[in-house]
Amino acid sequence: MVRQGWLFLVALPVCAAALLADDVFETAMRQLEVIEKVADRAELASTGASLRDSFDVGDRQQTRRLLALVGNAGRPLAVRTTALDAILAKADFELGRELLGWARASCPSTGARAVERNDFAVLLGRVVRGIGKTPGGGSLLADQASLSALKAIVACDAASPETRAAAAELIAASGAPIAQRRDAVVDILVMARTSEEYPTSYILLMNESALVRLRDALNNGIESGEFHYMAAAVLSHVGDVETLEVLDRWSACSTERPSLNRSIEHFRWRILVQRDQKSILEWITAGRGPVWLDHYWILRRAIELGIGKDELKSALESYVKNTPMENLRGRFRTDLAETAVSLGILRQGQGL
């Protein structure tokens, strides 16, 4: 009897704590469910903190109630983000995957109201920025279903460019096998025909099979006249000599498109200029005038190819010394110096 009494006394506080947590959760949920207009941000933040503290990691019942609130377009955006933050704080592997699945399935159509698309963009950005930090985030990002959801997020046109880029970075840096990450990244590159923006993490995943797919994407557009800028950008970045032949075919059929011809020549130059380190250093030293993107790209590529930072600094200083001032006016000289600092070629505070 004594032992049973002790067990009762121990169990009583535990049960009381659980009931108290349930009460706190219900109170916070009722507050979120009735708010029509957020007037007091501090009060909303306090409600969010109460929510996060009132349920355990992986609690499906409470999390799914919160997710229903997140998906309710009739609630104020601040309320929905508060509920979403609570989910992200307590999502284990399964709930994290469920959250990514919700994000994938909820991308609004192009015909949706602007406010709906804008609100979803905010929520989606929060999911992508927070999913890797969830309790189940590490293993979640090695999961095939999660990679597929992130690929769909990259393709969602309601997502902001920053969110798409962040989702793509999660794929490239995930714990999934390298072949899966590479396939996912190439899929993204092939989808992004008109863009030329790609992170360094993509370049690190390229191999011959990936380059073949990108060459095919570039070549297959000749008949329709749809130039694949992303494929050309990545292929020229890595100096893929076989791409020169594809670019020649494009040149032969684009004589009436001056802008495209300039792009083709630019991509051809990127391949040829990196034939050896001497070519790169000579171009940086001589330059071709204030072509900002050329300088930014060639400095970045030189670092990737292992050219010494002292050599690059010397080449930049020679370029500035030998270039007419009219070619260095405006922000170009400052931007060039800032790029050199960001790449570690110059120290913070140094100029050109």
Structure confidence at residue 272 (pLDDT) = 92
**Is 81 among the domain residues?**
yes
pLDDT at 8 over 70: no
Of the listed ranges 33-37, 182-186, 215-219, 311-315, the one predicted with least confidence: 33-37
**Is 347 among the domain residues?**
no
**Is 312 among the domain residues?**
no
**Is 293 among the domain residues?**
no
Q: How many domains does the chain have?
A: 1
Task: Give residue 287's pLDDT band: very low, low, confident or very high (50, 70, 90).
Answer: low
**Is 186 among the domain residues?**
no
Alpha carbon distance 335, 342 (integer Å): 10
pTM, full prediction: 0.76
Average the pLDDT over 295-321 and give the result.
91
Are 80 and 69 spatial neighbours (Cβ–Cβ below 8 Å)? yes
Average the pLDDT over 78-82 and give the result.
92
Largest CA distance in the chain: 97
Q: Which tens digit of pLDDT belongs to each residue from 48-76?
A: 888 888 888 888 888 889 999 999 988 89
Task: Give residue 349's pLDDT band: very low, low, confident or very high (50, 70, 90).
Answer: confident
Q: Which of 325, 317, 326, 327 is nearest to 351 (CA)?
A: 317
Structure confidence at residue 13 (pLDDT) = 52
Task: Give residue 291's pLDDT band: very low, low, confident or very high (50, 70, 90).
Answer: low
pLDDT at 21 over 80: no
**Is 16 among the domain residues?**
no
% of the chain at pLDDT higher than 70? 89
**Is 149 among the domain residues?**
yes
pLDDT at 197 over 90: no
Q: How many CA atoms lie within 13 A of 250 on its CB side?
A: 31
Q: Cα 331 from chain centroid?
A: 27
Q: DSSP of 275-294, one letter per residue?
A: SSHHHHHHHHHH--SS-HHH
| Joined tokens for residue 180 | 């899966």
pLDDT at 122 over 70: yes
Boundaries of domain holding 63: 41-176
Q: Average pLDDT, whole number, for the chain?
A: 85
Average the pLDDT over 159-169 and give the result.
87
Task: Give residue 146's pLDDT band: very low, low, confident or very high (50, 70, 90).
Answer: confident
**Is 154 among the domain residues?**
yes
